[in-house]
Homo-oligomer: A and B are copies of this chain.
């Protein structure tokens, strides 16, 4: 019977710049969950990756541009935060009703270019990691080093969606996993060839992980077991639709 388990990892300390996050996660596993299986998928919240990597900005050191000042004044925002959002963006997709939807330098399209003030001390904001795939790869290397077993990693964040309420977790960085599974060319039970069924497995894994991460504050890592069939090669980059193929950019 097909079954997966999703478990939140307790026991992580508050993460600060310079922390060896992969080592801290391995230590938490050793203290609490104890076992690691081949094919376990570690989903790690972007927020702690950014903190460990120093992708954090002190707002006192930001001088807002006139455009940032103007938008901030019109929408009761902190002009320094708006300035950081502009700097993190390579394209503004929508900027209406006080909401900024931006394409980041990585190509992610999300609110505020991923700049976020939650779960950091007052006066600071976090940025998305500069290279989430490299972050995932480093975490994976550390976990394989600690346990001697092949595991996969996902760096995840919560993104809003057009047309639907609420945010869901998606995969920014991926290592050791096929993020997309292509069923095109497979036959359905009626012998019909499936035409457009490419599943975004890594995003679904990130969403599954969020269900246990959120439950208890302070568990920004979850482990998915039983999904070994998707172990393989791939990147989070593969989940970003190229602008040339996008009807909404």
Using a CB–CB cutoff of 8 Å, the interface residues on chain A facing chain B are 1-8, 10, 14, 32-33, 94, 96-97, 99, 101, 108-109, 111, 117-122, 158, 161-170, 179-181, 183, 188-190, 192, 194-201, 203-205, 207-208, 210-212, 214-219, 227, 229, 238-241, 246-249
Contacts and interface: CB of A to CB of B under 8 A. Distances in A.
Contact of A2 (B8, B109, B165, B199): B8
Contacts of A240: 163-165
Nearest to A219: B2
A180 B160 CA distance: 13
Contacts of A247: 94, 96-97, 99, 101, 162
A248 B162 contact: yes
B94 A248 contact: yes
Given A195-B118, A217-B189, A247-B162, A168 B204 contact: yes
Contacts of A248: 94, 162-163, 248
Contacts of A101: 247
21 contacts: A1-B8, A1-B33, A2-B216, A94-B247, A101-B247, A109-B162, A109-B163, A119-B192, A122-B192, A162-B162, A162-B241, A163-B241, A165-B240, A166-B198, A166-B199, A166-B203, A167-B196, A168-B168, A189-B217, A204-B208, A205-B211
A246 B119 CA distance: 27
A10 to B, nearest CB: 6
How many copies of this chain?
Answer: 2
Given A3-B212, A108-B163, A208-B211, 10 more contacts: A2-B216, A3-B5, A121-B190, A161-B161, A162-B248, A163-B240, A165-B198, A165-B240, A167-B197, A183-B214
Contacts of A203: 164, 166, 168, 207
A229 B216 CA distance: 12
Nearest to A192: B118
Nearest to A229: B215
Contacts of A168: 168, 199-200, 203-204, 207
Given A204-B211, A215-B2, A247-B97, A199 B158 contact: yes
- Name, among A99, A217, A227, A247, the residue most crowded by chain B CB atoms within 10 Å (CB to CB): A247
Contact of A212 (B4, B166, B249): B4
